[in-house]
Structure 1
Amino acid sequence: MSPAAESDTRPVDDPRRGHIALRSGRIEVDATPTLMLSGEVHYFRLRRDDWADRLVQARDAGLDTIASYIPWIWHELPDGELDLTGRTCPERDLPAFIDLCDSLGLRFLARPGPFVMAELKNEGIPHRIYREHPDAHPAGWDGAAATTEDLDYHHPGFLAAAERWLGAVCEVLAPRQAPDGPVVGVQLDNEVGMLAWVSNTPHLDDLAIGNFLAWLADRHTTEGAAKLLGTTGDDFGRLAAAVRSGGDPARTLAFHQELGLWARDDFAKYLQHLESFTREHGISVPLLINVHGTGGGRGTTFPIGISQLAPSYRGRHGVLAGSDYYLGELTVQNVADLYLCNAILACVNGPDQPATSLEFEVGTGDYGDNLDGLSSPESGVHKTLLTLGQGNRLINYYLLTGGRNPVLEGSEDDGIPRIAFTGERHGFAAPIDPEGRATPAYDALANLIKEVRAYEPILATGRQLTDDLGFGFVADHYLTEYAHPTDTARRAQVDDLVRYRGFGARDALGRAIVLGGYHVDAVDLQAIADPESAWAAGTTAPEAPRTIVLSTPRTLGQKVQQWLTDHVRNGGNLLLTGMLPDRDHDGTPCTILADAFGLSSAGVRADRRDDSGPYWPTVTGSGDFSIDADLRVASAQLLKVPDGATVLLREIGSGLPCAVQAPLGAGSMIFVGCDFPAAHLDNWRNLFARLGVSPRVRIDADRTGLVTVPVASEHGNLLITVNVAPYPITASISVDGQEVQPSTTFPARGHALLQW
């Protein structure tokens, strides 16, 4: 036990208890809006004698909640019996750990799986499940077995065993729930759909295919489903083979779209089954669903998790979504990722569902224990401040404490007899290392939480002030998890979607918004364009802002194209980047939006180096839209434009337009058909100004790199300001014309919380 903690392990007289309510996007404890700041502490990776030490370190840092996975693979013994009370090993005594949290004034957030990942073997599933139910391990494309430890969530053998496990955990959790105990939330499974996505292995075992065929028949009739597969009749073997081979080659885009929609529905049925099961077994506190998707220090794929899982939770009473953020150092490269991911996560929630983060990266970032990378202590500070400013009410810092992987009785002969595959030590990057020593990240976290607590009334109730600007989110742009390996048409579609969706080619649109000083909410375009759809179920889309910004590939759904057209015709504006959309998600030609503005493609000029020589597309300003220098772009869509449209940019080699402003009814659209560099922020500001949009937060700075979030509440206003640049920035800042910060120098990686 560390000396600092030795005298502080006494129980407290007033544990943090109270009735938990979700109301108006807030978390309330006994009717008081509250921020829950949690740390992940894996009791099963610590000696029981060290539990109190680590919990006190968490409490001393200012955290009020402890979260932990509860691994099935750890609590199930080789004979199949469950030990949740420590009769075989003191580190299996789950009730004792939860009660210790309570005695130290800490809440508890339970994460019992059945899948838990956390570098555990089989993602936390006992080995016997795979031995006893080999057919639960999914087949994928062409019948190949999944390369991960994935399981068909609906397999009756797996589901029965999982229910037995969860039922036993509920017996421990239910008597300890708030308001009379410390348990304030229970997570349902973990990163559902992630294993299928990262391995391009849809669930195509016989059970899953039977469910898929029934789902198709319900949507298209049995004959329509067979036609989509390029076959006839009802022979299951023939239909299953057609599914596994990617459907009818002539309708491959339609097939892949249907497969993605079915998987989305299938995951929702599974998670809602777990929701019902836990409620029936006495769990009344909020239930949480972990949304995966970041990777490689970027958040550009995070909306895949939202697309997969939103129907599992959106608008469901007492259910919350939590992000899973691993972004490393926060820089100009990825700060827009975090900002826009927070906005997208919030936009699909129901009105009473606050955003949360169930795995919020904190620590040094040296996950491989190999000095593969190091993150500064300030990185966790910046990510926290921006995320809280955008309305997250719960953050679980993952991983707060390191530990050691215990030996697993009955472990397979796989080279390591322990519970996980990371060796003996685990959590190398945590603020508290496996030996219990504080790292620089711990002190930074403790100082941050003190600062946050001073403004908790604002951050627990406030809402970000935004400009009259909405970032368009199209969920089906992210149905890209699956592509048959030999299907060139589907691969081309996925490549196009990945390049242009979301934050735009070269991430230019996202960076222009966030680093340009604009503040936006995301707009769920599919929900607002088709409120009766399965996607929109459970929530009412809010009124859209006057100006929508959207980056789109060639693929954009018919109803979204129609809604955007009507939005502009009725007096709204649209800033569109990417490609002129010319087809629906199923491959059906659809040019509603382009036709309304009289635009059409005259080809694409892109970087090349072939027998004809090299070509480097470059654009220049046109007419009254001047830019300070000709700019290199990787590609430019050349345009045929109607009379009345204003040409903004031309591709120099062809002389043809590649960016225009075109009127329609009472509004107008700007289309930028090239990857216009984000570094030239004044050019982007001029584009926004042409649509009547100016940022309410004015930053007069000598360099780029300041990011702000203005928060307003009944308790006052707060401007969160972070410098993500590696150099100091001198700036003055005003909000709505009121000076908030006179000229001052923000140090490199510095931040400020400013009231006005």
Structure 2
Amino acid sequence: MIEITDKQIFIDGKPQIIMCGEIHYYRIDRSEWQDRIDKLKDAGCNAAASYVPWLCHEEVEGKIDLEGNTRPELDLAGFIDLCAENDLYFFLRPGPFIMAEMKNEGIPYWVIDKHPEIVPVTWDGKQTLAKTLDYSAPSFLEETKKWYAAVMEVAAPRLQPNRGNIIGVQLDNEVGMLSWVSNCPDLTDNVVDDFVGWLQERYDEETLKDRYPFILEGNYSAIRSPEDNYAAQLHFDLGYYMRHRFAKYIDTLRSYAEEFGVRDVPFIVNIHGTGGGRGFTYPIGISQLYESYTQGPGYLSGSDIYFGDLNMESFQDLYLINGFMDAVHRPEQPLTSVEFNCGDGNFGNNFSGRLDPSAADFKARMCIAQGNRLINYYLLTGGKNYRLSDQRDDGNDRIASTGERHGFAAPISPEGELNYTYPRMARSIQTIMAVSDKLAVMNEERDDVAFAFIPDYYMTEACYPNSTRMKEIYQNLEANRSTAAWENMARAMLLKGFRYGAADIQNKPIDPVETPVLAVPSACYMAREVQEKLVSYLSDGGGVLLYGEVPLYDMEGNPCHLLADAMGVRSTGRRLAGPAYDLSVYADGWAQDRAEIRVHKAQIFETGAQAEPLFRVYGTDETCGFDTKVGRGRAIVIATPYTCDLDLFTKALEKLGAKAGLKNDSKYHGVFMTSTATEQGERFLHLLNLDGFDKEMHLYENDVKLFDGRKLELQAKEGIMLPINLTVGEVTIHYATAEIRNVQSDAIHFRLTQSEDVMALKTDRQVAPSEDYTVQQEEDMTYVFSKKHAKVDDQLTVILQ
């Protein structure tokens, strides 16, 4: 039995952490299946996953082979059963789209040949640039239903509730991504007709006539080629409709699966969007799909994490996107990651990628600390692309576009060899699984601040190329929703120890009692309803740190400055840097005594007595940042891309009422810190040294030194998860500077992290003498001091008598 509740995954009543590895069975000789499974298990995983490629299993219409009759490696049931024999759960990903570098993204050629009407047209009636199809086309859904009938016949008896090992089913893959990355929204006749029907349900006739008079005249071509006078409203209506359409598609796929016996397991929707090793565009995927996975119980969302290294440049990106996913979730939904990039980054098979061994380790540690309950390492092992029987004379006639070998970057090569990233990845998985019973019920502890998320700020997946108005809105949103706000405000908050989630201020209530302070990336455009909510929040006593621009328009470009009015300011324009103008700003008020800095833009204001100027433009003294009272609340506005000044953002948040619970006194920044806890007070302290050099520090919680005041040494590119008040068997670990590696009835195995580690234990049992450590008893505390230096030998076993 599988239950999703309280942001946890329960299997037969036990909360679980699922560490999964993607093995494409159809790309690996059947004789090598067991070898890859062995290596997955050696890494510490307790589950396997795979796409099920329609293109391979039904190359010829009506001849579905899921038993391996045409090729031994196509025996889906055999592979799932082999995983079961190895005590592994299974995560099924049957498409119909799977991407995975497959031809047609995994769709059989015959589907497209038979139903040409499902190939979308887009802006101006042109064909789309991507290999996408009309999800809602009746003929596509009819063929998909047949495919699901065949796959679910294999899956249903193997579900975990039916005493099998399948614990989840993904519905399609990266829905909407192909249209977004190509700026080619699906605008077939079928889609446009449905869109018009949706508009007629959304608006009364008079409103619809005012917004789109051409629709009532039957001129639907104006949707594909919009004029600038209605491009903005069409853009957002089309975006809202596409969210609805994707949710309807996902619901249809779920209904097919359930009709054919697959139920009582989570249905998973994966979210796309990372690119170039960063997360700036990832929330576009959330925006497109959050209605799909929050439309009812039984769904999970899964991230696609393609960051490469997690370092000082990108660490806040991963933290934020996990927060944004959680912000839009239903109360029961936990975080999961279903494409968790691992390996060395050699995607081009030309050694252009060379990721640090810490990459997968750091990302897993951060995700687990933020509440991820399932991680699927993608791609765990490479494989080979065989040639199709129906050769298309397309240059290689193979099932995929990558040549004969596939998965060059994977920790396990196409030939089954382990690369340099495997040991560190395996060590982190094993560390997580050693305490998975604790982590499975822990939640991240948070300080009194949340990062604001506005989904509509990321509704930028489709911009009509000839619309000047939409380009202007897009550019402003893209300039203010992430980039500088993430790299300056969000990064500073993490480096100074603030533990924060995110708040969906568009769709959910914001209460200053539950969320005393909001950090808000803001564009010049913001919906009237969101501005009204922020004004109410401030009036009721909330604190807002607004970074970017104070909004002056609603999302469709109509004047709307409710928030500015409430703050008592009036924007008088912008200052922009230029070839002969080195725009600079200086600090004023409580922010003064900082160096003047160069910026590329500044929004300027007239302020009354209500607002205290904090930043001014050099040469004109115009205000571009201020501190103001709004009702019982307070807003601090930084309307220029001010740099990542750690003390400035800390002071601003403290003035608004938020204080960082964790601190360190390292000479150098670059340490990520957070903590997780159970309801009973068992905890882990999670630390990452993002730099390539060692750091020494004391750690503080609420200004009190941790670990009895001992100084910690955090090794270069190292992550550690230190137990605090954690009970294992008959021992409570008051604290330890070492990680738990394994727990047995008569021993606790640790991974050392210091030149001299200490484990402070509370137990009625005696710690046996050892040449590897000394034991010191102080009242009810037993201190175990390691004699090993972690850089020489990091394994220590504390023996209990």
CA separation of 1:503 and 1:711: change in aligned 2, threshold 3 A: farther
Return the match for 1:119 from 101, 105, 123. 101
Return the match for 2:4 from 15, 18, 22. 22
Structure 1 CA distance for aligned equivalents of residues 522 and 398 of structure 2: 47
Aligned to 1:149: 131
Structure 1 CA distance for aligned equivalents of residues 211 and 179 of structure 2: 23
Structure 2 CA distance for aligned equivalents of residues 546 and 322 of structure 1: 29
Aligned to 2:734: none
Bigger shift: 466-475 or 621-630? 621-630
1:588-737 superposed matches below 5 A: 588-609=558-579, 614-678=580-644, 680-713=645-678, 714=680, 716-737=682-703
Aligned to 2:350: 370
Would you say the 8 A contact 2:283–2:324 is kept in 1?
yes
Matched, 1:255 2:255: no
Aligned to 1:755: 723
Matched, 1:244 2:224: yes
Return the match for 1:467 from 435, 444, 447. 447
Kindly provide the CA deviation profile for residues 564-593 of structure 1, in whole angstroms up to 9, marking residues without a partner as x.
111111111111011110111122221110
Kindly provide the CA deviation profile for residues 673-699 of structure 1, in whole angstroms up to 9, marking residues without a partner as x.
010111x21121121122122100112
Aligned to 1:534: none
Would you say the 8 A contact 1:458–1:715 is kept in 2?
no
May I ask how many residue pairs the two structures share in their alignment? 719
Structure 2 CA distance for aligned equivalents of residues 505 and 563 of structure 1: 21
Aligned to 1:405: 385
Aligned to 2:530: 560
Would you say the 8 A contact 2:316–2:486 is kept in 1?
no
Return the match for 2:518 from 524, 545, 548. 548
Aligned to 1:110: 92
Matched, 1:271 2:250: yes
How far does residue 514 in structure 1 lie from its aligned partner after superposition?
A: 1.9
How far does residue 160 in structure 1 lie from its aligned partner after superposition?
A: 0.6
Aligned to 1:14: none
How far does residue 471 in structure 1 lie from its aligned partner after superposition?
A: 0.7
Return the match for 2:180 from 197, 206, 220. 197
SS state of the match for residue 98, structure 1? helix
Aligned to 1:170: 152
Matched, 1:496 2:476: yes
How far does residue 226 in structure 1 lie from its aligned partner after superposition?
A: 4.8
Structure 2 CA distance for aligned equivalents of residues 93 and 252 of structure 1: 50
Structure 2 CA distance for aligned equivalents of residues 480 and 187 of structure 1: 25
Structure 2 CA distance for aligned equivalents of residues 627 and 300 of structure 1: 32
How far does residue 79 in structure 1 lie from its aligned partner after superposition?
A: 4.5
Matched, 1:351 2:331: yes
Aligned to 1:68: 50
Matched, 1:38 2:17: no
Matched to 2:223, the amino acid is V
How far does residue 543 in structure 1 lie from its aligned partner after superposition?
A: 6.7
Would you say the 8 A contact 1:457–1:715 is kept in 2?
no
CA separation of 1:344 and 1:420: change in aligned 2, threshold 3 A: same
Structure 2 CA distance for aligned equivalents of residues 79 and 274 of structure 1: 20
Query: Which structure exhibits the higher relative contact order, with contacts defined as CA atoms closer than 8 Å and separated by 6 or more residues?
Result: 1
Structure 1 CA distance for aligned equivalents of residues 272 and 575 of structure 2: 36
TM-score, length basis structure 2: 0.88
Return the match for 2:425 from 426, 431, 445. 445
Structure 1 CA distance for aligned equivalents of residues 512 and 378 of structure 2: 33
Aligned to 1:576: 546
SS state of the match for residue 431, structure 1? coil
Structure 1 CA distance for aligned equivalents of residues 573 and 512 of structure 2: 37
SS state of the match for residue 507, structure 2? helix
Structure 2 CA distance for aligned equivalents of residues 751 and 203 of structure 1: 44
Matched to 2:50, the amino acid is S
1:151-550 superposed matches below 5 A: 151-179=133-161, 180-222=163-205, 224-231=207-214, 233-235=216-218, 238=219, 240-246=220-226, 248-284=227-263, 285-314=265-294, 316-502=296-482, 504-505=484-485, 507-529=487-509, 544-550=514-520
Unaligned runs of 5+ in 2: 725-801
SS state of the match for residue 131, structure 2? coil
SS state of the match for residue 149, structure 2? helix
How far does residue 744 in structure 1 lie from its aligned partner after superposition?
A: 2.6
Structure 2 CA distance for aligned equivalents of residues 232 and 667 of structure 1: 46
Kindly provide the CA deviation profile for residues 402-424 of structure 1, in whole angstroms up to 9, marking residues without a partner as x.
11111111132110111000000
TM-score, length basis structure 1: 0.93
How far does residue 737 in structure 1 lie from its aligned partner after superposition?
A: 3.5
Kindly provide the CA deviation profile for residues 201-256 of structure 1, in whole angstroms up to 9, marking residues without a partner as x.
11111000000111111112355435433526433xx2x2100102x421221111
Unaligned runs of 5+ in 1: 1-18, 531-540
SS state of the match for residue 458, structure 1? helix
Structure 2 CA distance for aligned equivalents of residues 195 and 228 of structure 1: 29
Aligned to 1:537: none
CA separation of 1:312 and 1:721: change in aligned 2, threshold 3 A: same
Would you say the 8 A contact 1:600–1:639 is kept in 2?
yes
Return the match for 1:78 from 60, 74, 81. 60
SS state of the match for residue 300, structure 1? coil
Return the match for 1:746 from 683, 707, 714. 714
Structure 2 CA distance for aligned equivalents of residues 529 and 32 of structure 1: 32
Would you say the 8 A contact 2:512–2:542 is kept in 1?
no
Would you say the 8 A contact 1:470–1:544 is kept in 2?
no
Aligned to 2:761: none
CA separation of 1:748 and 1:353: change in aligned 2, threshold 3 A: same
Structure 2 CA distance for aligned equivalents of residues 348 and 564 of structure 1: 18
SS state of the match for residue 698, structure 2? strand
Structure 2 CA distance for aligned equivalents of residues 233 and 385 of structure 1: 55
Would you say the 8 A contact 2:610–2:629 is kept in 1?
yes
Bigger shift: 252-261 or 625-634? 625-634
CA RMSD for the aligned pairs? 1.6
Structure 2 CA distance for aligned equivalents of residues 222 and 195 of structure 1: 34
Matched to 2:457, the amino acid is H
Kindly provide the CA deviation profile for residues 133-179 of structure 1, in whole angstroms up to 9, marking residues without a partner as x.
11101100000000111101011111111110011000000000003
Structure 2 CA distance for aligned equivalents of residues 160 and 543 of structure 1: 50
CA separation of 1:442 and 1:649: change in aligned 2, threshold 3 A: same
